[in-house]
Amino acid sequence: MSATTAIVDLCPTAPGGGGGVIGRTRRNPATSGAVRMNEDQTRDVIARAQKGDEAAFQVLFREHRDTVARVVHRVMGPSSELDDVVQEVFVQVFRSIGSFRGDSKFTTWLYRLTANVTKMHLRKKKSRPRFADVPTERLLEGESADDPRETIARNERVSALYRLVDGLSEKKREVLVLHDFQGWNAARIAEAVGIPVLTVRTRLFYARKELYAALADDEVLSPLVESLMHRLPGGAKKAKAAAKTNAKTKLMAEAGQ
Amino acid sequence: MTHSPKWRALIAFNGELLSVEGNERVERHLQGCDVCLEALAEIRAFDEVAHEVRESPVDVDFARMELALRREAKSIANRQRAKRGLPFVLAAAAVALFIGSQLIPSSATPVAVNETPDVVETLIPEPESPSVAGVVVALAGEVGERGLGAAVAEDEALSVDEGSLHVLMPDGSAFALSANSRVQTTRLREDELVLTLEEGRVTSDVRTGRSYYVDAPPYRIRVQGTRFEVRRDGEQVAVTLDEGIVEVLEGDTVVRHMEAPDRWSSHEGFEAAAQGEVLQPHVDGLEGAALELAADENIVRWEVGGLVLRGAHAAVMTAPGDYEVVGFDANDRRYEAPFALLPEGGHLEGSDLRAVRRAPRGGYLPPEAISEVVRPSYRALQRCYERELRQNNPSLRGDYALRVSVDREGAVSGVRVTTDSELPPPLRNCLARTAQGWAFPAPRGGALTFELPLNFSARPR
């Protein structure tokens, strides 16, 4: 872990005092009493947690909860089970911290554990019947003052993209999500996942290729593809032709009814 | 005329990574190519929605979670305290009895003993059996600094990034660690051997009737005279038993009693190795000579006297004598060299190997590997058909087949749609485009072509 990036609240507060909604009401480290933890402090906290020190567990949770939540959210997509999975990750961190030997960075170890818990959850979810996962009302909570229709449309597009991502193999999905949704570069993904950088790039290429081909056939995303095609040089002609064909088909269908 | 989208060029164009000339070439191509135009729109649509994903808020109630996690932390802390406290309590009681029998009359009031654990250890003899050490008898690839003949003692960490590491114990038992694996030699005693598998795969070949365990928490695999593999990925554990009997324990509970041949997995979807695919540990060679095998990157696997070692560089302790050393390249091409191993050891270079000619044959992919790639696209293929049905041809039906060519790296190099009737071009393009997106594992033995039959018919509404 870099000595300059870890942020941790070393002064435990009252229960519930550190809660919040990241991404919307993100806590400001400068005002929340958070201090930067160097490598020695990190090692010390891990060693104390390995001995069963409750306060050290709390420090680990508070330091890494934002990162873990963000990774789980990006991997799973919109889901009402985000809280449960993040909590499960930390339960596993607490139970397995004894097996962390410091051979790799703690953040790498934590990522692998997070990825495993999330993968297990996704596998279980695949075997269950599928329902609309997050009610639109929840998605709208706390959204900015954008046009609500645009917010709903955006959420539908995001959900549609995750439906396509669900069709990728686990390996390709992991690399694509970390690169394109989480914003990590190939070197960081290679280290976290434990594969060569070249393999990251190869998986990313094939994952994207698979998704690109599926976008045009998705009923939620195909209008976006068409509108973007319209804006490309020479695309207006093709988009117009496609629109004409669609209108003709519609008229024929209505006439047939 | 249609072609597959030029994805790499379009991605580079979209990311503004091309030279001015390159940009102009792509722009000119786009003027006359609907396929690439649509592909570029798809790339941009993906970028746009991926941006929306990155911007979407992460909504988590940490306060509620913290309460639950405090309870978990407390219970772990209590368990840790109990674990640390128990030996001390027992030891303290033993010390009290020891001192009592020597110094204090039996009728006297018991004395509270408040010794430190260090003092206690000096007073109580350890009823431990003698420790033993293993020896590295074969290795290949990236196995850290441990070389052939190195000793492996109790409480040591062994890890293998690529290749394998084979360790032989004095009683003839052996274990082999596969690529991406870490194991701790928790206990190496004359009467008991415990390996703790932290991740990856370890195969054991247990020759004697002593206690032998592989811990893969929360499970413990108890064995007596058998050959088996344990693999672990995080919380998931799987066992493949080739010979003998093992038991999988969770705490003191027997989760599964296994008799060979058998496979067991803790989680659905986490597969145990197939029977016969278990790595065979090298079980002899303690008195043998060292044979070193060094090739350039071309050779990826060696076979010496039935032992398989993966990696360009490998070494094995084996009995002196005549061997047929065999190497394989990434395309499974076979190279051979006769080699006389002398008692003082020997060294074989890749240049000593001679390629073995064989009749040319096509590549091979297991049907399940093809199915794993193709199955997620069934809905997309169905959508191609339904769109055609909806927009142009409500009575369309028929039997089609996709003839898919896969190159040696697993990429789709060509798709043909065959049919017994006329196929509308939009449907043909849509099916072909979907298949173009497939990426298979590299086929064994080179490129291949397979046929995927498709049977579409309209469902009554």
Instruction: Report the 3 state secondary structure along B179-206.
Output: CCEEEEEEEEECCEEEEEEEEEEEEEEE
Q: Which of A24, A66, A206, A248 to mutate to test the interface with B (most CBs of B within 10 A)?
A: A206
Mean pLDDT, rounded, for B79-83 = 65
Q: What's the pLDDT score for residue B262?
A: 81
Q: Three-class SS string for A231-248?
A: HCCCHHHHHHHHHHHHHH
Is B375 near chain A, with CB under 8 Å? no
- Complex ipTM value: 0.75
Is B41's CB within 8 Å of A235's CB?
yes
Q: What's the pLDDT score for residue B355?
A: 77
Query: For A54, which residue in chain B has the nearest alpha carbon?
Result: B73
Q: How far is B45 from chain A (nearest CA, A)?
A: 6
- CA count, 13 A, side-chain hemisphere, A212: 28
Q: What's the pLDDT score for residue A72?
A: 93
Chain B residue numbers with beta carbons less than 8 Å from the beta carbon of A82 are 58-60
Nearest by CB to residue B56, choosing from A113, A158, A172, is: A158
Among A125-129, B128-132, B185-189, B335-339, the minimum mean pLDDT is found in A125-129
Among the listed residues A145, A125, A215, A230, the one whose alpha carbon sits nearest the alpha carbon of residue B50: A215
Please tell me which residue, A77 or B420, carries the higher pLDDT value: A77
Is A91's CB within 8 Å of B72's CB?
yes
Q: Is the pLDDT of residue B54 over 50?
A: yes
Chain B residue numbers with beta carbons less than 8 Å from the beta carbon of A64 are none
| Helices (runs of H) and strands (runs of E) counted in chain A | 11, 2
Separation of alpha carbons A172 and A165, rounded Å: 9
pTM recorded for the entire structure: 0.44
Among the listed residues B43, B12, B9, the one whose alpha carbon sits nearest the alpha carbon of residue B29: B9
- Number of A:B CB contacts under 8 A? 235
Q: Are B256 and B273 in contact (CB under 8 A)?
A: no
Among the listed residues A189, A170, A233, A78, the one whose alpha carbon sits nearest the alpha carbon of residue B44: A233
> For the segment A162-179, what is each residue's pLDDT rounded down to a tens digit?
999 999 988 899 999 999
Nearest by CB to residue B269, choosing from A65, A123, A238, is: A123
Is B63's CB within 8 Å of A20's CB?
yes
Is B86 near chain A, with CB under 8 Å? no
Query: For A234, which residue in chain B has the nearest alpha carbon?
Result: B31
> For the segment B284-340, what is each residue's pLDDT rounded down to a tens digit?
666 678 888 887 667 888 888 778 888 888 888 888 778 888 888 888 788 888 888
Helix (H) or strand (E) holding B340: strand B334-341
Q: Are B375 and B452 in contact (CB under 8 A)?
A: no
Q: How far is A247 from chain B (nearest CA, A)?
A: 10
Residue in the block written with tokens 């990429």: B411
